[in-house]
A and B are shown apart, each in its own frame.
Chain A
Amino acid sequence: MEWLESFWTTYSTLVLSIGTNVLLALSIYLTLSCGLLTVANAAFMGIGAYTAGLLTVHTGTPFLFALIFGSLLPGIVAMLIGGPTLRLSGVYLAMATLAFGEVARILILNTEDLTGGALGLNGIPQMTNVLHVAVAVTGALYVLLRLAASPIGRTLTAISQDETVTELMGSDVRAYKLFAFTLGAVLAGLAGALNAHFTFFISPNEYGFERAVEILAMGVLGGTGSPWGAVLGGVLVTLLPELLRGLGHYRPLINGLILILIILYSPKGIWDLTRFVRRPAKLPALN
């Protein structure tokens, strides 16, 4: 198992990054799948990271509980701001969530006593290992796959196509959107909490505009057709800068290019191309 060990020392960060990025991609997939363009997930990630990090550093909370609180708090915040915010359409929603992200970041910057402000939070115990991430990713993927195949998933897709008609057919559209928004926030928070416990140092700038763009790039690349698209998007966005030797530096640039190119040339994301190989469904017997 020697090669495994050496592989791990070189690539552990990368594998763990892929894991948390897939979680983030799934979180934005959820909101995109019902037609919501929100860029708040970076902020939710930050809230999760800080919550979990502060709990383990200052109060010695066990890791698992820190993860749980780190996931729940963003969810609660999402439910609070989601009510009024999700009434907004398209561009206004995007801008409101952009503003929310900035407000969160500024709040963290200005609460130095608690969060360390611009200097960041240091000394978070490195407790995340690949098992945690694997369980989180598998769990999230499983739930989202079941969701996509369920009536809830169907309704979310319908909302993304025609919100008014979906409501006129009896679905409480606001509740569905709030559900997607909140669950997305929980996933993003979980990703943040996990991430904080292997980078051991976090600062507000990690959860700002560049992170939001990266998450958006993953979501747009993966498309809204299926959670697998999000997985693909997360993996590609993480790996691409690494594969192109030495361009890890230019990660934001690559993400930006991804956004532009996908929007211009393949708006439904990369996964949509697999539509052509889906098996035709069978008709049930009459009566």
Chain B
Amino acid sequence: MTASLRVVVVYPDLLGTYGDGGNGLILARRAEWRGYAVELIEARSDQPLPAADLYCLGGGEDGPQVRAAGSLLDDGMLTRQVANGAAVLAVCAGYQIVGTTFPGAEGDAHDGVGLLDISTTKGSGPRAVGEVAGELTTEAMEVLAPTVPPTLTGFENHGGVTTLGSGVTALARVTTGIGNGDGSGTEGAVAGRVLGTYLHGPVLARNPVLADLLLGWALGAGGLAPLDDSAEEALRQERLGGSRPTSRRRRPWRPR
């Protein structure tokens, strides 16, 4: 009677640098807690990519990022599955490689997988590093139709500047931080069932609404049962400035 779901974390050996593998775990647990049978697979880059309902791509270093894009293009599975309706969450380096082009370590342009109409170049300024807050754009609200209009929170760490083409919708408008960095004041992009973002944290730990959105896409479920997300909500409040950490015994220290 239980429907099943397969979640694949794409190439944790190449795109596993920033803790984004947590997104796969979060999706799997949230489906399990609602009674679905879940298979969570960490697919290394030396194997063929398995078919799945939901793919997660994370952040990685420049060299491994280039290898990951090449392997995904050679493999072809991700593109085929997305055409068949699979959902994708792509973060940071993963976000860049699901676009059309992205920069290597020397700034040279590499072909992306082309799931999103975005292109990324190496920024000329310092890396974008720090907390990000953003409000979903009106267009994204229409595409995503989340039950709760969320403010997004996360941590960015990237040197790329991402320009959105006409085939995608910006995910959010940043109120803190840089995001896409192309001067539009936006962060992330979405088209069909592919959602890209620069946010770490991991992004689904800080924004469980997005996790349920992706699960809804992958499961085709009309309304997922609510979960007790008080731990996530406390974290969101803290990160968005609603409450401050309250260690009372803080002492001065010096950076090493």
A binds B: no
Residues of B with Cβ closer than 8 Å to A?
none
